[in-house]
Copies of this chain bind each other. A is one copy, B any other.
Amino acid sequence: MTPEAMLWLALDLIGTFVFALNGALTAVRAARLDIVGVVTLGMMTALGGGVIRDVIIGDIPPATFRDWRYFALAVAGGLLAFALSKLLHRLEAAITVFDAVGLSVFAVIGTSKAAAFGLGVAPTLLLGVVTAVGGGTIRDVLIGQIPTVLRSELYAIPALAAAAITIGAIRLDCYGLAAALGAAAVCFIIRMLGVRFGLNAPGPLGAGR
């Protein structure tokens, strides 16, 4: 396994795990599902973005379905979140942070994988964003909410920023662990600033106004 492949794998597994935590906590908070529903929503959130990415890119069957570690981490994240949800007082904050981490990591890895498969610049950016927002969009649709990517100004934008930095680094031939983490950090910081300072678009349901 090349170092680059290991980097991809590690980032992908991290993204999978945090999205599983996020999806499962969302299931507890927003829809008050029981344990099977919680773990199921965690898995769909965790594996959704990667499956969409791999299906679109033609890397079939998706990595998720060839490597048991994705499966194990998604289930473990869901179970851990179910257990933690009884302890966490600030569920909302944890949900937001895990979502931002998953968004950041998946934007970078989706972009680098699309570039490795030889897609052009615009499609690569698009696939990076789709990978990043895919799992969360599936999560929101399944629990009957307007997806975050549509409601929040600073959700697609930070993912796009991370994708742009990633593809820039690849083109400049300086893509590696530092560039990947830097791109993910930029996405994470923009997203969290947006959440912290309420830089969101008006919610269509009018709930948060």
Q: Does A27 sit within 8 A of B, measured CB to CB? A: yes
Residue total for A at the interface (Cβ-Cβ under 8 A): 54
Contact of A57 among B60, B120, B127 (CB under 8 A): B60
Decide yes or no: A60 and B65 within 8 Å by CB, A143-B204, A144-B146, A202-B34 being known contacts. Answer: no
The reply to whether A153 and B35 contact each other, CB–CB distance below 8 Å, is yes
Q: Does A10 sit within 8 A of B, measured CB to CB? A: no
Interface residues of A in 51-105 (CB under 8 A from B): 51, 55-58, 60-62, 64-68, 71-72
Q: Given A27-B150, A64-B126, A65-B114, 16 more contacts at CB 8 Å?
A: A31-B150, A34-B153, A36-B153, A37-B201, A41-B150, A55-B56, A55-B60, A56-B60, A60-B60, A61-B117, A61-B123, A66-B120, A137-B142, A141-B141, A142-B150, A144-B145
